[in-house]
Chains A and B, each alone.
Chain A
Amino acid sequence: MKQEDQSRFAEEIREWLASRTFGSLSPVAVELRRDANSDEEEAWFFDVVLPNPDPAEETWPIDDIIALDLGVRDEALRRGLTWPWYVSFTPETEEEFADEDALEAPPAAS
């Protein structure tokens, strides 16, 4: 399979993913990047930006996350995108979270 075909398939899946709804999840944006995975293989990474969930729930509904995973897998298999590919999630806004790491220095080594 030509690399340009693979790039086109990945971009088509990115566009498909950005336009779909999975249960309560509607991606705000989807970024596609080509990078090495943990085995140093070239892989496709779909970085999905999601609206922040209900604070009482603390994260997104896991059944909807799984539906999104299955949707991407089915599209990748249907279009012929070659493994590996990965989907990760980023909240739309993080302003309500203060990063504690920035508030104090790490303990001195003894």
Chain B
Amino acid sequence: MSDLQVTLTIDGLRVTVPAGTLIVDAAKKAGIDIPVFCYHPKLEPVGMCRMCLVEIGRARRDRGTGQPVRGDDGEPVIDFSPKLETACTTAVGEGWVVRGLTEKAKAGRKEIVEFLLTSHPLDCPICDKGGECPLQNLTMAHGPGKSRFLHDEKARLAKHVPLGDLIVLDRERCIQCGRCVRFQEEIVGEPVIGFSQRGRGLEITTFSEPGFDSIFSGNTSDICPVGALTTTDFRFEARPWELRAAASICPHCPVGCNLTLNTRRQPDRDGQITVQRVMPRQNEMVNEIWICDKGRFAHHYAASPERLRRPMVRKSNALVEATWEEALARAAQGLRAAGGKVVGIAGGRASNEDLFNFRRLLEGVGGRAVLDEWMAGGDHAQKLGAGSKADLGSYGAGDAILVVAADLHEEAPIWWLRVRQAARRGAKIVVASALPTSLDPVANEIVRFPAGDAALAVLNVVHALTGDSTVEASAEPYEHAAAALRGAEDVLIFFGREGLDAAGSSALAGECATLLASLGCAGRARSGLIPVWPRSNTQGAWDMGLRPPSTGLKEALSDAKAAYVMAADPLRDDPGLAEALSGVDFLIVQELFLTDTARRAEVVFPAQAFTEREGSLTTGDRRVQRFYPSVPPMPEARADWRILAEVGNALGLALPGSSPAAVMLEIAASVPDYRGASYGELARVEAQWPIVGGDDLYYGGTAYRNEQGLGVKLVPAAERGEDFSLESHDLPVARERAPLMLLPVARLYDAGTTVGASEILRAHLEQASVALNPEDASRLGIGDREAVEVRWDGRVRRVNARVRDSVPPGLAIVPRSMSLELRGVRPVEVRRAE
């Protein structure tokens, strides 16, 4: 796109757009519809469906002077091409005249629709897309009213072709537009579906094993302009016009994808209003119009029959259901009795409002609130986080992105997708990690370091950058990484927690801050640090003043008389905490499910799921976003912020309890960064490109238009010109070494509270296992899938081995969700189980 502006006439309207704009986009920007099927504004034009045929008249130019030729009437001479042309493949030209409403152009559209319908089954009455189908709508608008094609001569094709376990293809409905294939190739870079055969036999097929092996597969059903691709989640469940839409935010990772939850009263669930499907809601600065399959399909936990329904209190050593009055009174009594020796443990999936009230309550009773997390860096993000204009969508040539100790594909998929797009636009990508990541193929530089040495690796890059001589011998990758970052205008640094314990994570955050400053990017509006948090609102928790306990949860609990746990299951994450918890006299848990931790509580409060309530979450790049209720709450469940206010009330503490908006007003008043973040501000929207949904769904797809808020981007201290110096951190030291080191890794489909409940994803869940390099496996006499014992720090677990070439030698890899008491890398022994 260039700065040069071009003016042309489309359907009689004068339109001025940047040179290089395609006619179809220029028309859309001016509010003129040129119908399309294969064209999608996020994809490269292919001109396959031929629906966008228009008459194009080009201003005649004098060959010598290049000046427009004028006729006798003084008007520029326009030469119309004898053939209709595709508006989706033709860029605008100065003085051109585009006609889409002439008899010729209208006939062209009608004829293309007629062709498309010859092989189409016209089964709209039973089609999931019916009601939001571009083919249906464009047929009504442009097509012939009557078929000239004999019904018996229609192609009869398979109507139930599972491409994978999440997406089903109806071959009869497919119009071969290739949007799905191109999405996987261009946007995702996981080309696992494609065309096979030719002509009328041209069909979509998958060539991955398992089928459609991509974590973004659901998006193809949004951009499919017919009912050919449906999700197994929504297929045959409801008609689009029966659905109500509520705005939400994905609760699964720190990206904060904007969602729309579609709900309907469900006959087979006693008329309950339930979530029928999760759809992307456009936010071009966050998720554009995409979401990952976890966000789309893992919502079922919120409606799980296993949810806690009533408050529970412990009576004669058993948890029994109780009234709210009784439970609140017991909780207040227990907290009072602890005499200030109270520790509150909250998880990063709670909303800002919940976390704010949590801290208020805990501090109000003289205790303290900590974050159920050990990863550091929230304060670094407050000072040096992503700046006010740091939008991955604007990243391209001249910019650089460093991803260190994180696998974005597994931990924050839409960031992965958008970093990949930035790479395609020319941004330099540097990946630094112990394990190969899915970003490696687009990386300009890859730095591999021993697991756990992330901070040291970044320090080496800093040294290479500043010319410091302390760089270790194998300096070359660091030099290259420094060279890739050095010339960049703006730099984003994503840092994670691969192989890191609390100290290592703190050192990494510190080194990343040093690196950003060394690059001269501290305080720049498009630069900054982005922590890849394990939870959706961990950054919000930091902003609300919660911190990981500096010496660990066990230590924090050691002299506590009471503990209050919200939106966390510390016992499941670390069974080793059992002892510490049993030393606590009084445990309160507010949760969705009767978790391992909840089972030991004196009082359990049933909390509302994100689908049932309002609140706000803060993304890893520090955008505060609102989510709204979509279904009525379970009758006895209450929102976390409200439960806390009621407990506070019973203790004589005044906590905001009338509404989440009221809590946010208090937050805005007491947390300086959140000064402008009222619910009204969070709900502000502006026009976005491309245009999606509503009458434009033929164009951008069925992603929802954002009418409920783009959120508020917080401005880091450095950009505000304030002091951004951070507490000094210990210099990173090399980890302890052993022939085999145990490395816990994050996986997208972990077996946690919020994913395991979705039956549709069960086959994708990460199983407890230990992955070894073939060399190590053979040295240890271990075969693939064999049962093994994993021993570390005096502990032992029995799991199945996986032997994988992708595992670097010397590492034994276990999924984090396996409930190991394990933070960083530890020396380990793996041997065949007896």
Do these two chains interact?
no
Binding site for A on B (CB under 8 A): none
